[in-house]
């Protein structure tokens, strides 16, 4: 979703901002732009399309400036076009603003401004906001900073905004509510961005701006205030991230790199927490909530997309290990149906980005009802992490490919740790089973490495089926959510219609789709449902469907039935999803690549969905 970058300091600002915008391309966008102060004059350049197109458009212009703001826009108000791209300017041409988020009451504000004679050149809520600020500034005869503060008190919605002001060429102003903003603190320079990726190569010292804070930046000064104009102390943190983590490192795509990183990222998600030899499991972020967790009446998992699938796997895990009822909710639905949440309920919010608006809103509403919220997040310091009362980071490292892969398997590993920890505290698991599962979890990274060796074989299967119009993905038990995840990956990356179903449910409708043209992917590793899944495969074969099956090594039965098999190492059914999803990620990746699609940035998708 939209990305912002800004620079103020001793360097040339334009190259820093353009490079930063390229680092944010993974978030998904459809237009882009920059504003800078060249010779004291405010210049704005913006274009529909990619950052490279903006660069071509600007070539040859005098871009000298030590202050600049930039934006990648994912259209909300108004189609992707040059005029709707950010930055947007005030009517007098002196202020330029980039904005992430949505101003919900912009129609009302626009009406007021129109009645005062303002004219608008775009369809955006952003242009309304910058006009509103300018209107306050001129009618109150105050500074831009003061006008911004007054304006934000009227604004309903979520935003990060950055403003450059022609009359204050050595100052950048930023404000945040509900969308992420990171400030990089250098020597005589400051960097601002939606996440740390544009900043990491310049400085590791960062400040995460909080909601309702305004930052006033000069090259060598950072003043942080709250919306009531009280000075706040910036909390400078050290980024725990290396530049290599956000580069492709020899892979053709970020997605492939991230798929192949999984033995390491799963290991990282377990590191310092799981000690199978000692039979110990430590989750510091849950320590003070353990009593409440083990006595919970109900655990409600809220999430979206792939993270929701991780929640579904966790439902099976936690119910089995802890005998606590678990509900898995689409965050977007949970919030608006006035859910029954009460004492004894624990909410677990699962999110890679930690910025997903639907999940944040669901958490806020549950918090208002008095529930305790735990977060399972990948991005340290993200909004969801900060809104949580406790939780566990997944530590998968930055995920740049829009389709989530390594974050998903890290979520599964962490959710399994959480289930085991609660079960241990509750005494709902035998010592033997607990130890067995610790051993199994510890063995997962190596088994994932073995599954990755099937890359070439999976590519050959991808070539065989890449022209199919639809795919069906089926699985039972722990593998049912993996079927959903496999279907989602294929949809996102290859634009092929795919559906995931519980294998048995197929008889109740989707079987009507089966003919010789329909590839059906079975996630059919050895578990308690195995015999039933074999019957389901027979039902598909009897109708001439093409069966691609992910099976456990040594399985002769399905090998003899399926058209194509992908063999993964044997494991306990509770951890099997972390391994069986790997070939499905690879299958989607290769089909997308073979179809010539941009797998890292699929059309219409955004990495971090910061609007509801």
Among 70, 91, 184, 305, binds ligand F6R (CB under 6 A): 305
Nearer to ligand F6R, 203 or 405 (CB): 405
197 binds ligand F6R (CB under 6 A): no
Tell me how far apart the alpha carbons of residues 488 and 283 are, in angstroms, rounded to a whole number.
31
Ordered DSSP codes for 386-414: HHSSEEEE-------SSS-SHHHHHHHHH
Q: Shortest Cβ distance from residue 341 to ligand F6R (Å)?
A: 20
For ligand F6R (CB under 6 A), the number of binding residues is: 15
Nearer to ligand F6R, 352 or 536 (CB): 352
Cα-based torsion angle of the residue sequence 69, 72, 75, 79 in order, rounded to the nearest 10 degrees: 80
Torsions phi, psi for 78 (to 5 deg): 95, 145
Q: Is the peptide bond before 118 cis (omega within 30 degrees of 0)?
A: no
Residue 290 parent element (H or E): helix 290-294
Which parts of 470-529 interact with ligand F6R (CB under 6 A)?
Answer: 488, 492
Helix (H, G, I), strand (E, B) or coil at 434: helix
Q: Shortest Cβ distance from residue 356 to ligand F6R (Å)?
A: 3
Stretch that binds ligand F6R, among 16-24, 95-103, 120-128, 349-357 (CB under 6 A): 349-357
Stretch that binds ligand F6R, among 199-207, 259-267, 352-360, 503-511 (CB under 6 A): 352-360
Q: Shortest Cβ distance from residue 276 to ligand F6R (Å)?
A: 28
Nearer to ligand F6R, 305 or 397 (CB): 305
Among 124, 356, 580, 610, binds ligand F6R (CB under 6 A): 356
Stretch that binds ligand F6R, among 7-15, 289-297, 348-356, 423-431 (CB under 6 A): 348-356
Nearer to ligand F6R, 422 or 484 (CB): 484
Torsions phi, psi for 113 (to 5 deg): -70, -40
Q: Shortest Cβ distance from residue 592 to ligand F6R (Å)?
A: 12
Q: Shortest Cβ distance from residue 261 to ligand F6R (Å)?
A: 16
Nearest to 328 by CA among 410, 226, 415: 415
Strand pairing partners for 163? Answer: 97, 173
Among 84, 203, 388, 608, binds ligand F6R (CB under 6 A): 608
Nearer to ligand F6R, 305 or 519 (CB): 305
Q: Shortest Cβ distance from residue 364 to ligand F6R (Å)?
A: 15
For 529-573, the three-class secondary structure string (H helix, E strand, C coil) is CHHHHHHHHHHHHHCCCEEEEEEECCCHHHHCCCCEEEEECCCCC
Nearer to ligand F6R, 286 or 493 (CB): 493
- 416 a catalytic residue: no
Among 352, 409, 458, 536, binds ligand F6R (CB under 6 A): 352
351 binds ligand F6R (CB under 6 A): yes
Nearer to ligand F6R, 6 or 493 (CB): 493
296 binds ligand F6R (CB under 6 A): no
Tell me how far apart the alpha carbons of residues 174 and 160 are, in angstroms, rounded to a whole number.
7
Tell me how far apart the alpha carbons of residues 294 and 288 are, in angstroms, rounded to a whole number.
12
Helix orientation angle between 406-426 and 576-594, rounded to the nearest 10 degrees: 170
Nearer to ligand F6R, 110 or 489 (CB): 489
Q: Which of 2, 304, 322, 377 is catalytic?
A: 2
Q: Shortest Cβ distance from residue 494 to ligand F6R (Å)?
A: 13
Q: Shortest Cβ distance from residue 208 to ligand F6R (Å)?
A: 17
Among 200, 304, 326, 474, binds ligand F6R (CB under 6 A): 304
End-to-end CA distance of the chain: 12
Tell me how far apart the alpha carbons of residues 193 and 215 are, in angstroms, rounded to a whole number.
13
Among 126, 306, 388, 525, binds ligand F6R (CB under 6 A): 306
Among 262, 307, 409, 525, binds ligand F6R (CB under 6 A): 307
Stretch that binds ligand F6R, among 274-282, 303-311, 456-464, 553-561 (CB under 6 A): 303-311
Output the CA angle 404-409-410, nearest 5 degrees.
Answer: 100
Nearer to ligand F6R, 323 or 603 (CB): 603
Stretch that binds ligand F6R, among 2-10, 305-313, 468-476, 564-572 (CB under 6 A): 305-313
Residue 264 parent element (H or E): helix 262-270
Helix orientation angle between 406-426 and 431-452, rounded to the nearest 10 degrees: 170
Q: Which residue is nearest to ligand F6R (CB)?
A: 305
Residue 317 parent element (H or E): helix 305-322
172 binds ligand F6R (CB under 6 A): no
Nearer to ligand F6R, 493 or 566 (CB): 493
Residues 6+ apart with CB under 8 A from 221: none
Strands of the sheet with 564-568, listed across from one edge: 497-502, 470-475, 519-523, 546-552, 564-568
Q: Which of 257, 406, 421, 607 is catalytic?
A: 607
Site string for ligand F6R, 384-413 (x = CB under 6 A): -------------------xx---------
Stretch that binds ligand F6R, among 55-63, 245-253, 350-358, 534-542 (CB under 6 A): 350-358
Nearest to 28 by CA among 380, 308, 355: 355
Start-end of H helices in 427-503? 431-452, 455-465, 480-494
133 binds ligand F6R (CB under 6 A): no
Strands of the sheet with 231-232, listed across from one edge: 88-89, 95-103, 157-165, 172-177, 213-218, 221-226, 231-232
Which residues are tagged catalytic? 2, 607
- Positions that interact with ligand F6R (CB under 6 A): 304-307, 351-353, 356, 359, 403-404, 488, 492, 608-609
């Amino acid at each position: 979703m939209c990305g912002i970058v800004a620079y103020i300091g001793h360097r040339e600002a334009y190259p820093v901002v353009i490079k930063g915008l390229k680092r944010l391309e993974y978030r998904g966008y459809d237009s882009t732009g920059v504003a800078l102060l060249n010779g004291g004059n405010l210049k704005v350049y913006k274009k529909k399309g990619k950052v490279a197109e903006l660069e071509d458009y600007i070539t040859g212009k005098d871009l000298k400036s030590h202050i600049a703001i930039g934006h990648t826009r994912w259209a909300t108000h108004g189609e992707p076009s040059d005029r709707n791209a950010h930055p947007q300017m005030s009517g007098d041409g002196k202020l330029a603003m980039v904005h992430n988020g949505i101003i919900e009451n912009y129609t009302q504000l626009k009406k007021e401004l129109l009645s005062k004679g303002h004219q608008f050149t775009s369809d955006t809520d952003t242009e309304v906001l910058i006009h509103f600020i300018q209107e306050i500034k001129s009618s109150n005869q105050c500074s831009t900073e003061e006008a911004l503060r007054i304006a934000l008190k009227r604004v309903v919605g979520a935003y990060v905004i950055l403003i450059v002001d022609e009359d204050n060429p050595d100052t950048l102003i930023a404000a945040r509510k509900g969308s992420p903003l990171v400030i990089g603190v250098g020597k005589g320079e400051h960097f601002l961005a939606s996440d740390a990726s544009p900043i990491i190569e310049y400085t590791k010292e960062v400040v995460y701006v909080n909601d309702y804070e305004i930052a006033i930046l000069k090259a060598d000064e950072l003043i942080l205030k709250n919306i009531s104009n009280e000075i706040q102390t910036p909390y400078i943190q050290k980024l725990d991230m290396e530049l290599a983590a956000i580069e492709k490192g020899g892979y053709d795509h970020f997605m492939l790199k991230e798929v192949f990183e999984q033995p390491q990222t799963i290991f990282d998600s377990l590191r310092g927490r799981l000690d199978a030899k000692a039979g110990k499991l430590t989750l510091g972020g849950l320590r003070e909530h353990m009593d409440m967790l083990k006595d919970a009446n109900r655990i409600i998992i809220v999430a979206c997309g792939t993270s929701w699938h991780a929640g579904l796997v966790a439902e099976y895990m936690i119910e089995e290990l802890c005998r606590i009822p678990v509900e898995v909710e689409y965050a977007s639905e949970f919030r608006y149906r006035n859910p029954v949440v009460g004492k004894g309920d624990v909410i677990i919010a699962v999110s890679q980005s930690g910025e997903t608006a639907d999940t944040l809103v669901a958490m806020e509403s549950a918090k208002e009802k008095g529930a305790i919220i735990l977060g399972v997040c990948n991005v340290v310091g993200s909004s969801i992490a900060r809104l949580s009362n406790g939780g566990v980071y997944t530590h998968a490292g930055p995920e740049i490919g829009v389709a989530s892969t390594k974050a998903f398997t890290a979520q599964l590993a962490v959710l399994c740790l959480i289930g085991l920890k609660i079960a241990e505290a509750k005494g709902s698991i035998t010592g033997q089973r607990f130890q067995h599962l610790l051993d199994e979890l510890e063995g997962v990274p190596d088994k994932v490495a073995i599954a990755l060796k099937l890359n070439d074989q999976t590519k050959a299967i991808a070539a065989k089926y890449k022209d199919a119009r639809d795919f069906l993905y089926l699985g039972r038990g722990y593998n049912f959510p993996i079927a959903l995840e496999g279907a989602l990956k294929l949809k996102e990356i290859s634009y092929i219609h795919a559906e995931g179903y519980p294998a048995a449910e197929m008889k109740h409708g989707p079987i009507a789709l089966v003919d010789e043209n329909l590839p059906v992917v079975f996630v059919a590793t050895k578990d308690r449902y195995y015999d039933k899944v074999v019957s389901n495969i027979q039902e598909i074969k009897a109708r001439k469907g093409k069966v691609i099956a992910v099976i456990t090594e040594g399985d002769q039965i399905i090998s003899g039935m399926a058209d194509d098999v992908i063999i993964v190492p044997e494991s306990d059914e509770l951890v099997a999803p972390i391994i069986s999803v790997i070939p499905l990620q690879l299958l989607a990746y290769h089909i997308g690549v073979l179809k010539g699609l941009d797998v890292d940035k699929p059309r219409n998708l955004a990495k971090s969905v910061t609007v509801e």
